[in-house]
Structure 1
Amino acid sequence: MTADTNLPRPPIVVLCGSTRFWDAFTEAALYETVAGRIVLAPGCDLRTPHPLWADPTRADHLKHVLADLHLRKIDLADYVLIVNPDGYIGDSTRREIAYARRLGKSIRYTHQAPDHT
């Protein structure tokens, strides 16, 4: 099956939020995909043990690399979806929201947006 290049590109959404809500990310990605959107999301959860980030020095370096990579995903996206099932917005997510706003990206929330973001 080949893609019809005459069709418009589906919207691209990037999921942002704390990876402590990994299951909520999976659910949001499912709904966004079924709605016909291209989904960009964190590719790994550094909270879950893995040999790639078992070394603390490497884990710290990887955290910074992945944070910058996520900003590039925001660059590509048409809009941002903040995954915040309990309303939590941490420092990294606040940074991503501010970055998206500077780019003029539309921002949605899976749950009510807190007043302080």
Structure 2
Amino acid sequence: MPDRPEIVCICGSSRFVETMRLANRELTLRGIIVLAPGEMNGTVSESQRSVLDALHLRKIDLADRVLVVNPGGYIGESTSREIAYARAAGKLVSFTESDVRW
């Protein structure tokens, strides 16, 4: 038995917030620690966006692996950067839609 539960960081477009919530719930109920993107209502300034982007990279640092939520195979610019960051850090990256060319 592991010393601690697996830690998974969820990445994906904010347009898929409901799908990310479902993934969070499913993983949590399986005993996995989930690090998810911060959810913001309303407008976020550029400086706030920079803080949130940097914070999410730190979440990737803490994770054992990354799960990319990508309905329809969609991966946006920010998520692409997060995938590249995770891979450069040696993290395993998986996708909810398996037909992805990464």
TM category (shorter chain) comes to over 0.9
Task: Find the aligned partners of 1:113 and 1:75 in 2 and give their Cα distance.
Answer: 26
Q: Map residues 102-113 of structure 1 onto 2, 5 A cutoff.
A: 102-113=88-99
Instruction: Tell me how far 1:43 sits from its aligned partner.
Output: 1.6
* Map of 1:78 onto structure 2: 64
* Map of 1:9 onto structure 2: 4
Task: Find the aligned partners of 1:10 and 1:113 in 2 and give their Cα distance.
Answer: 28
* Map of 2:17 onto structure 1: 22
Instruction: Tell me how far 1:61 sits from its aligned partner.
Output: 0.8
Instruction: Tell me how far 1:113 sits from its aligned partner.
Output: 4.2
Distance verdict in 2 for CA 1:92–1:113, change over 3 Å: farther
* Map of 1:56 onto structure 2: none
Q: CA RMSD in A?
A: 1.4
Task: Find the aligned partners of 2:99 and 2:4 in 1 and give their Cα distance.
Answer: 28
Unaligned runs of 5+ in 2: none
TM-score normalized by structure 1?
A: 0.81
TM-score normalized by structure 2?
A: 0.92
* Superposition misfits of 4+ residues, deviation over 6 angstroms: none
Kindly tell me the number of residue pairs found equivalent between the two proteins: 101
